[in-house]
């Protein structure tokens, strides 16, 4: 065994070599200070996700709206289209408008509001025999200034609340404006009228809708068109021109821009022309809407041909293509042109008629 000698103050001490090695090993195994950086602790994770507000589909436009925002009735009105009635009040916010033939070869409208109720609408005129079939599927309220008693009786038999000028229940909501001459001057305080009938249910969805014009049936399966021209009689005609920048159809009557009460041109996301039969009801043209006929549906700068049908006064109008597939309109407002047999419908394509 090897010994090492260490010199102390009083002499030398013999230490075995193995002891030296053991001491050195213990010194080498002494723990070092922890050099791992500590830093600040990470903050707890907090999610910033917010649950989206629930949405619904506007029943008469097909647009997405906050859930519950349209839980109210629709308002329909028989709107004057005489030259002295223009520009009409509130047409720019309609969901759906039906243009129909009346006496003298001119037209009137059945306009329907639900997505946006204007403060005022009008001028309203008297009811016609086809109007019950038009408004019955929507329910809600119908505004008009009166009419032949037989037509009023028909309208009162529908599931629609009749708001008639000159009646006790419309004394605060119907009035004559001094901005137009009689009989083209009866307006309706629409928001106030709706507030008086809060228990009337909202309308059911009437048509199938796509997300936008590009995904509508006309744009996907139809032909590209730039103009739709229509004629109700020898004395009345109009047209719709496609505005690609705005993705809307622009309305023209008798070759003049058809403006709303704000001075802007009336527009539509969809223009639907229906070939309808018209009979003479004791001197009053009556459009027949129960049945079926040819249809031309224009959306997204294109047109698709199809068939319309309506099985009963309270059933909605159904639109299908030549294969029997339901036609989807573009989300937005719609104008219906109810073209009589003597009338016409034509289209202009980018390359010509």
Identical topology for domains 57-195 and 208-348: yes
From the first residue on, what is the mean pLDDT of each consecutive set of 10 residues in the chain (353 residues)? Answer: 41 42 44 58 83 94 96 98 97 98 96 98 98 98 97 97 98 97 97 98 97 97 98 96 98 96 96 98 95 97 98 96 97 98 96 67
The answer to whether the beta carbons of residues 293 and 307 sit under 8 Å apart is yes
Q: What is the pLDDT of residue 353?
A: 62
Per-residue pLDDT, 312: 94
Q: Indicate the pairing of strand 96-101 with strand 334-339.
A: parallel
Tell which CATH classification among 3.20.20.120, 3.90.700.10, 2.30.31.70, 3.50.90.10 matches the domain 208-348. Answer: 3.50.90.10
Burial of 216 (0-12, 13-18, 19+ CB in 10 A): buried
Cβ(200)–Cβ(73) below 8 Å: yes
Q: How would you class 250 by CB atoms within 10 Å of its CB: exposed for 0-12, middle for 13-18, buried for 19 or more?
A: middle
CB 117 within 8 A of CB 58: no
Q: Which CATH architecture has domain 57-195?
A: 3-Layer(bba) Sandwich (3.50)
How far lies 262's CA from each of 8, 92, 95, 186, 265, in Å? 115, 9, 17, 18, 9
Residue 12: predicted pLDDT = 42
Q: Are strands 11-16 and 3-8 parallel, antiparallel or unpaired?
A: antiparallel
Please spell the DSSP secondary structure of 86-138, one letter per residue.
PSPBSGGG-SEEEEEE-GGG-EEEEEEESSS--SEEB-B----TTHHHHHGGG
pLDDT of residue 49: 83
Element (DSSP H or E) covering residue 66: strand 64-66
- In whole angstroms, what separates CA 86 from the centre of its chain? 25
Q: How far apart are CA 18 and CA 21, in angstroms?
A: 5
pLDDT for 14 equals 43
- Domain locations in the chain as residue ranges: 57-195, 208-348
Question: Which run of H or E residues covers position 221?
Answer: helix 217-221
């Amino acid at each position: 065994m090897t010994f090492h000698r260490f010199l102390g103050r009083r002499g030398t001490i013999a230490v075995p070599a193995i002891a030296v090695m053991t001491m050195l090993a213990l010194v080498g195994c002494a723990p070092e200070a922890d050099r791992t950086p500590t830093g600040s602790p990470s903050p707890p994770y907090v999610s910033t996700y917010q649950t989206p507000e629930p949405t619904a589909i506007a029943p008469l436009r097909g647009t997405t709206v906050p859930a519950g925002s349209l839980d109210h009735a629709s308002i329909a009105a028989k709107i004057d289209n005489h030259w002295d009635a223009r520009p009409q009040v509130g047409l720019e916010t309609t969901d759906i408008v039906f243009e129909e033939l009346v006496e003298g070869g001119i037209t009137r409208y059945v306009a329907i509001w639900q997505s946006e109720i204007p403060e005022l609408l009008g001028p309203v005129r008297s009811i016609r025999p086809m109007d019950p079939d038009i408004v019955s599927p929507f329910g809600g309220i119908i505004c008009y200034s009166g009419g032949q008693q037989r037509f009023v009786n028909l309208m009162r038999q529908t599931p629609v609340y009749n708001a008639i000028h000159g009646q006790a229940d419309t004394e605060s909501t119907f009035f004559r404006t001094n901005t137009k001459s009689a009989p083209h001057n009866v307006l309706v305080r629409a928001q106030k009228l709706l507030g008086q009938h809060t228990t009337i249910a909202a309308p059911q969805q009437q048509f199938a809708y796509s997300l936008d014009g590009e995904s509508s049936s006309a744009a996907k399966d139809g032909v590209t068109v730039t103009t739709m021209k229509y004629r109700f009689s020898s004395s009345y005609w109009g047209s719709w021109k496609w505005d690609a920048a705005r993705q809307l159809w622009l309305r023209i009557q008798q070759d003049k821009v058809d403006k709303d009460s704000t001075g802007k041109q009336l527009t539509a996301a969809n223009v639907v022309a229906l070939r309808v039969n018209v009979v003479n009801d004791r001197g009053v043209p009556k459009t027949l809407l129960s049945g079926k006929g040819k249809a031309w549906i224009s959306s997204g700068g294109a047109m698709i041909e199809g068939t319309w049908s309506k099985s009963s006064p309270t059933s909605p109008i159904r639109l299908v293509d030549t294969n029997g597939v339901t036609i989807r309109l573009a989300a937005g407002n719609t104008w219906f042109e109810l073209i009589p047999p003597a009338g016409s419908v034509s289209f202009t394509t980018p390359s010509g008629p």
